Amino acid sequence: MSDTSLTIDNILAPELTLCRVPASSKKRVLETIAEQIHHQDEILSDTEIFSNLVSRERLGSTGIGQGIAIPHCRLEGLDRVIGVLMTLEESIDFDAIDNQPVDLVFALIVPKEATSEHLELLSQLAEKFNDNGFCEQLRQCQDAASLYQRMTAAS
């Protein structure tokens, strides 16, 4: 796996792109992420994914500001990078650095040993989400198909 081939559009699957997800809390968002990944690949433990995401959040919120969060963690035994994109039905408190509620979430689950890839993807995501117009386009999407298309078209 080389850094150059790892882009958002080859880690995000349409099945893991969710639009207007009802979520009442940060914990519920992380549970939904873990459940969706497990639903796509039953070998992966939703409990382990959730636990790793929560552990990472304890180190500091992955809410990067302006209504965006990029929860991420490493997972033992994973052989690829998995992305999950969600817009939330309503903004929720995510302990973001700017104290603003979050309604746009991109989760990243990476293999335990994938360090440079992990950082490169986080950098790509941060750059995309730094574009307010792009974020507004994502928020306007009414369904998962258009959300997936919007996220991957700009890659």
Determine which one of 38, 39, 72, 118 is catalytic: 72
Q: Are 60 and 104 in contact (CB under 8 A)?
A: no
Q: DSSP alpha helices (H): ranges in 41-142?
A: 46-59, 115-129, 132-140
Which pairing describes strands 82-92 and 102-111: parallel, antiparallel, or unpaired? Answer: antiparallel
> Is residue 35 within 8 Å of 46, Cβ to Cβ?
yes
Measured between alpha carbons, how far is 7 from 124 in angstroms, rounded to an integer? 8
Q: Say whether 72 is catalytic.
A: yes
| Residues catalogued as catalytic | 72
